[in-house]
């Protein structure tokens, strides 16, 4: 039985970047696992630990030593290894010397390419302790750190200055130099509660020793759960319901080693300010959690997580209340100042804000949006006057004091200001909803005006940026065109909007005087947008082949695209679908080889085989009903009907030579197959399944 050991490594640092901590921890663990796999070492459970001042990895049941290996070194072929008289050639002698062996120690290896000379060498496996320092160093070198730093006179570079490195195998220190530090068996506890060195006897003691002696909960997930529980308990104690944003929870977890929740208060006068602004001030600046009362209204309280178990919690509470007051006062000041003028008065200022150098300013964008929103909205049955007004006011709040301080409130503040000045409620709603969906799973615009404005805004950005040649490449997408494309498609499909995407792309492009509109450019942008649907449908269980079967037909309406996908997905489960797919592929290949045109009609007098007549009769019986179903977009039923032609198609290919010598007969058979193929591709190209 292979002996195994328990391994632990910890890098102790200055406070690590909170928003990157989890990613660094995962990458550190993955790097070590990759190194162990490369060294052909087996291992069991991998545990990751991360706190503001440490990154650690524990690996249980780690193989203590590499297995011994027999390595084959292959030399020249036997026929090139010996001369005619049987003496070794210089090539063979040179190979033997290179292996540190004699010719007599070489062996013959019989392969499918003949007999070769080889040397079998025994390689003794290394102890894991000798391999781990390099594996750890390599993992640290590959961490996703955008900009490494140096400190003191050292040439060592890392994300933050390193103060200690702990590295243990069972109860023994693994001797090494890591990031300029000699490894040891000590760690450090909480900066204030337990700054002294703490000896870790064994990897299994690590978490408990830090917790009981060092006031540090090293497990990120456990610490996160602690904070969640404390926040919920603290809120319940004041009859509130805690609102826990997962991104904020992760950041707060990365900021604290020994979290303690404290409830603070602020003046209720601030509740006259829109709650989103107050929440942004609390979350963004102070990393506070907010609470709602039983009616769902924001409470004049907050929950802060401190990284210390204070003997005077009232002082901590008071200090946090003093800190948040100026932030909330700023929000109130911005709210009061912004309302002193109509929202539309901000519009001229947008002439000084560049949207994109070649596409002009945000004011230019609004002028394009007014006509584009009306164009989109008319297809949705919305009133042109409201559409144009919504587009005109859509970006005005970007010049407000509030959005200048809290950019994440764009649109949201536009809604508040529009309601304050008695704009139509649907216009106010559209101003807030124009950026939806902001992220995966986000809600979609509700009204037709909001949907039209959101679609138009995304279309203008996509067509403009793509049209001037700034096509996203790799992970570079500064204008978030991919996210905009998926958001646009989600609105159209999930809200069941019958929108002609090709038509709207062309109309949007024509609003950009800097761009030369062409059929090629329209098709390229259509392909770019529709390509976002591949992952979208994959999440719904649609295969790549099913997606391509519909995409090849290029439906210009995304909603129509989705209906065809649904039909193809159902068709793939039907008995005979595989046979029909193969037949369609065969038909497609035959049609590709034809030079010149194929007749549009079939001449029944040229039939020579019963299978031809039977196939034509079946096709003729299906043609009208399938065409009517396709026209009605009843694609699933249409494919179900087409599936009944399988028997006749199979019989045709079994009993009929399509490429007959008689050209008239051959062309007539091709015309028959073309009609079948066209009927299928009016829905999807099932030959791709």
CATH number at residue 574: 1.10.730.10
pLDDT tens digits, 514-566: 999 999 999 999 999 999 999 999 999 999 999 999 998 889 999 999 999 99
| 366 and 491 assigned to the same domain | yes
254 is a domain residue? yes
Q: Provide the domain limits for residue 78.
A: 69-123
Helix (H), strand (E) counts: the chain:
27, 18
| 176 and 238 assigned to the same domain | no
| 52 and 175 assigned to the same domain | yes
Which residues lie closer than 8 Å to 541 by C-beta, 6 or more apart? 569
549 is a domain residue? no
Angle ∠(363,368,372) on CA atoms, nearest 5? 145
In the chain, how long is the greatest CA-to-CA distance?
Answer: 107
Give me the residues paired with residue 290 across strands. Answer: 243, 302
| 135 and 100 assigned to the same domain | no
What share of residues in the chain are helix, strand, coil (percent, to 5)? 55, 15, 30
Identify the pLDDT of residue 133. Answer: 97
Q: What single-letter DSSP state applies at residue 15?
A: P
Could you tell me if 667 and 598 are in contact, meaning their C-beta atoms sit under 8 angstroms apart? yes
Identify the pLDDT of residue 207. Answer: 97
559 is a domain residue? no
The CA radius of gyration of the chain, in Å to the nearest whole number, is 35
* CA-to-CA dists, residue 10 to 162, 177, 183, angstroms: 11, 13, 9
| 401 and 461 assigned to the same domain | yes
Q: Which of 214, 241, 264 is the last residue of a domain?
A: 214
Identify the pLDDT of residue 376. Answer: 96
Which residues lie closer than 8 Å to 362 by C-beta, 6 or more apart? 350, 353, 354, 355, 395, 398
Question: Which tokens belong to 268?
Answer: 């209720």
557 is a domain residue? no
Cα–Cα nearest to 452, from 381, 522, 515? 381
- Contacts of 224-231 with C-beta under 8 Å, sequence gap 24+, read 224/249, 224/250, 224/253, 226/259, 227/252, 227/253, 227/256, 227/259, 227/261, 227/305, 230/259, 230/260, 230/261, 230/305, 231/261, 231/289, 231/303, 231/305
Identify the pLDDT of residue 1. Answer: 43
Alpha helices in 99-147 (DSSP H): 128-141
pLDDT tens digits, 274-298: 999 999 999 988 999 999 999 999 9
Angle ∠(304,308,310) on CA atoms, nearest 5? 95
DSSP per position, 218-233: --HHHHHHHHHHHHHH
Cα–Cα nearest to 7, from 51, 42, 52? 42
Question: Which tokens belong to 72?
Answer: 């084959």
| 377 and 504 assigned to the same domain | yes
| 416 and 353 assigned to the same domain | yes
Number of domains in the chain: 5
| 517 and 465 assigned to the same domain | yes
Question: Which tokens belong to 392?
Answer: 């005109």
Identify the pLDDT of residue 153. Answer: 87
545 is a domain residue? no
What is the distance between the alpha carbons of residues 553 and 684, in angstroms, rounded to a whole number?
Answer: 6
| 445 and 380 assigned to the same domain | yes
| 364 and 351 assigned to the same domain | yes
550 is a domain residue? no
| 487 and 356 assigned to the same domain | yes
Could you tell me if 433 and 411 are in contact, meaning their C-beta atoms sit under 8 angstroms apart? yes
Which residues lie closer than 8 Å to 325 by C-beta, 6 or more apart? 266, 267
623 is a domain residue? yes
Coil, helix or strand for 144? coil
What is the dihedral angle through the alpha carbons of 108, 111, 113, 117, rounded to the nearest 10 degrees?
Answer: -20
Q: Which of 485, 513, 531 is the last residue of a domain?
A: 531
| 117 and 160 assigned to the same domain | no
Identify the pLDDT of residue 2. Answer: 60
Q: Which of 316, 338, 360 is the last residue of a domain?
A: 338
Starting at the edge strand found earlier in the chain, the sheet holding 114-123 runs 69-77, 114-123, 107-111
What's the pTM? 0.81
What sign does the CA torsion over 591, 595, 599, 603 have?
negative
34 is a domain residue? yes
**Could you report the average pLDDT of every consecutive run of 10 residues in the chain (689 residues)?**
87 96 97 95 97 98 87 85 87 88 86 86 85 96 93 92 97 96 97 95 97 97 98 97 96 97 97 96 94 96 95 94 96 96 96 94 96 96 96 97 95 96 96 94 94 97 94 87 95 96 96 94 95 92 92 92 92 81 82 78 86 88 90 90 86 84 85 87 85
Identify the pLDDT of residue 586. Answer: 82
CA 115 distance to own-chain centroid: 52
Alpha helices in 531-645 (DSSP H): 533-538, 544-551, 558-571, 577-592, 610-631, 635-642
């Amino acid at each position: 039985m292979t002996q195994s050991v328990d391994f632990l490594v910890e890098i102790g640092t200055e406070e690590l970047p909170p928003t990157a901590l989890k990613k660094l921890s995962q990458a550190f663990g993955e790097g070590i696992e990759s190194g162990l796999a490369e060294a052909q070492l087996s291992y069991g459970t991998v545990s990751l630990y991360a706190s503001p001042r440490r990154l650690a990895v524990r690996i249980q049941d780690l193989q203590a030593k590499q297995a011994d290996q027999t390595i084959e070194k292959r030399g020249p072929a036997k026929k090139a290894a010996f001369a005619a008289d049987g003496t070794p050639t210089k090539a063979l002698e040179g190979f033997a010397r290179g292996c540190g062996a004699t010719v007599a120690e070489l062996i013959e290896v019989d392969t499918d390419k003949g007999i070769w000379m080889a040397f079998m060498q025994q390689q003794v496996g290394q102890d894991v302790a000798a391999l781990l320092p390099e594996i750890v160093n390599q993992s640290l070198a590959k961490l996703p750190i955008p900009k490494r730093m140096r400190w003191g006179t050292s040439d060592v570079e890392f994300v933050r200055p390193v103060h200690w490195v702990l590295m243990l195998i069972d109860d023994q220190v693994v001797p090494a130099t890591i990031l300029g530090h000699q490894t040891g068996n000590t760690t450090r506890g909480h900066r204030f509660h337990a700054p002294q060195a703490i000896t870790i006897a064994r990897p299994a003691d690590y978490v408990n020793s830090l917790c009981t002696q060092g006031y540090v909960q090293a497990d990120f997930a456990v610490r996160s759960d602690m904070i969640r529980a404390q926040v919920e308990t603290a809120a319940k104690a004041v009859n509130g319901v805690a609102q826990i944003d997962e991104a904020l929870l992760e950041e707060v977890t990365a900021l604290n080693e020994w979290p303690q929740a404290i409830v603070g208060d602020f003046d209720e006068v601030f509740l006259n300010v829109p709650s989103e602004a107050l929440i942004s001030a609390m979350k963004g600046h102070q990393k506070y959690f907010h609470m709602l009362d039983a009616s769902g209204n924001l409470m004049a309280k907050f929950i802060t997580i401190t990284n210390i178990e204070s003997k005077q919690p009232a002082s901590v509470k008071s200090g946090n209340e003093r800190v948040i007051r100026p932030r909330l006062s700023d929000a109130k000041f911005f709210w009061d100042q912004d309302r002193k003028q109509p929202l539309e008065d901000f519009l001229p200022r947008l002439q000084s804000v560049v949207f994109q150098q070649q596409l002009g300013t945000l004011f230019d964008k609004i002028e394009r949006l007014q006509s584009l929103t009306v164009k989109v909205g008319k297809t949705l049955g919305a009133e042109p006057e409201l559409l144009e007004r919504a587009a005109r006011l859509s970006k005005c709040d970007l010049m407000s004091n509030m959005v200048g301080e809290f950019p994440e409130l764009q649109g949201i503040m536009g809604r508040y200001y529009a309601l304050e000045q008695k704009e139509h409620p649907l216009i106010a709603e559209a101003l807030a909803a124009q950026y939806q969906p902001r992220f995966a799973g986000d809600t979609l615009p509700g009204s037709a005006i909001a949907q039209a404005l959101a679609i138009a805004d995304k279309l203008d950005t996509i067509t403009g940026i793509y049209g001037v040649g700034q096509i996203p490449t790799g992970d570079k997408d500064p204008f978030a065109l991919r996210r905009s494309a998926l958001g646009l498609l989600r609105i159209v499909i999930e809200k069941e909007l019958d929108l002609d995407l090709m038509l709207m792309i062309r109309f949007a492009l024509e609003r950009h005087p800097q761009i030369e509109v062409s059929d090629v450019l329209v098709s390229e942008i259509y392909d770019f947008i529709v390509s976002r649907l591949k992952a979208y449908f994959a999440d719904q269980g649609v295969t790549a082949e099913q997606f391509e079967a519909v995409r090849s037909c290029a439906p210009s309406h995304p909603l129509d695209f989705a209906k065809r996908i649904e039909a193809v997905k159902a068709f793939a489960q039907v008995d005979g679908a595989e046979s029909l797919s193969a037949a369609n592929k065969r038909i497609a290949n035959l049609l590709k080889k034809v030079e010149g045109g194929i007749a549009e009609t079939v001449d029944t007098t040229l039939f020579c085989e019963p299978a031809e007549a039977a196939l034509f009769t079946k096709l003729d019986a299906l043609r009208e009903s399938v065409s009517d179903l396709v026209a009605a977009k009843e694609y699933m039923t249409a494919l179900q009907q087409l599936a009944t032609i399988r028997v006749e198609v199979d019989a045709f290919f079994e009993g009929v030579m399509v490429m007959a010598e008689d050209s008239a007969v051959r062309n007539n058979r091709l015309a028959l197959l073309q009609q079948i193929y066209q009927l299928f591709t009016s829905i999807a190209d099932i030959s791709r399944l």
